[in-house]
Structure 1
Amino acid sequence: MTQTDTTAPQGPAARVGIGGPVGSGKTALVERLIPELEMIGKSVSVITNDLVTSEDAERLRRSNIIDANRVLAVEAGACPHTVIREDPTMNMEAAEQLDLAFPGTDVILLESGGDNLASTFSDDLVDFWAFVIDVSGGGDIPRKRGPGVLRADVLIINKADLAPHVGVDLELMIAEAREVRRGKPVFVTNCSTGEGVAEVARFISDEVLF
């Protein structure tokens, strides 16, 4: 008698958006998150978004930290908001392509093209999203209360090491970020060294993948 396999097939990978202004460190965060997530047993694929280039995708493919076939690029051809918020169809199709090509993938990281504090993700596209700001952009960013700062599931303050060099009171910036986000999580990272990224990876694993 043949035993029937009752194990349910795994559904689509969880989709985690990573947005933020130009130069805040989104690609650097993705580069650091991939090995951290894999270290805790999570299989990762990536979609990058940009205006008219696939430079971020090519950077990841050359990095040797991920199978190059697991990285897809979406070129918006317009404001980056378009393909992550107004009409995320291109990203949804790319995610479906990765699901089919790599069944069993746990998480797809969707990096937004660099934009401003108004950048947000459609709920139709992602299950969870992080917004990345950096201290060199100014310690007053939390007080500006942009939609990304307020609405993201996680706010990441990157380039913490630069605070004393750009005249930013990092502790005040963190405190103001926590105040305007009313209890939503805030993490502090230095993606050039990897400091703080393991905590972000564990949070994503705990909150999204379980």
Structure 2
Amino acid sequence: MVLGNLLSGHLLRALPIALPSGHAASSAAPLHRRRVPLVGAFWVLSLGALSALSYRAGCIHSQRRAPLLRPKFANQPSVGALHSTGMAAASTVPSIVVYVTVPNHEVGKKLAESIVNEKLAACVNIVPGIQSIYWWDGKVQTDSEELLIIKTRESLLNSLTEHVKANHEYDVPEVIALPINGGNVKYLEWIKNTTRDN
């Protein structure tokens, strides 16, 4: 229906197409000196018709483009794999995020500062106001704690763990490492450049 309307005499008469010599021009369509290729005109008309059909079909464009825009976190390669594919700069090293819980802000701040001063991490975030519910001494315990989110090299995990155990109030402090599978390459380089080799 749309294509039929576009091909009707109304739009075709408005196109600035010069008629070949020997053909009379109608009064409704003025003669112009600039020639528009007929193939180009039909291409523009076809494009308009396809756009109209896509609109009627309901977000065809967004459905086709969605896979290109959708992040693929589930299949994201590790930082080591990124090196081999050339997606990350060669100067990055495998990095991790480490979670450590602490009983209060003062203990957390002191531990975080010692970790950064020893160059065992590039950055430590302190997240206040968490509530931990856990099994200990044969029963369920509930405590208010704070969470340290530590960004460091994977190769420093053992040294970081020993540092936390030596400077923490808990008998069995939490030290849980998660791999960083990708991200801002400059930030990953900053982690490398701000921490010690081992």
Structure 1 and Structure 2 fold alike (TM over 0.5)? no
TM-score by length of 1: 0.23
Larger Rg: 2
Higher RCO (CA 8 Å, separation ≥ 6 residues): 1
TM-score (norm: length of structure 2) = 0.24
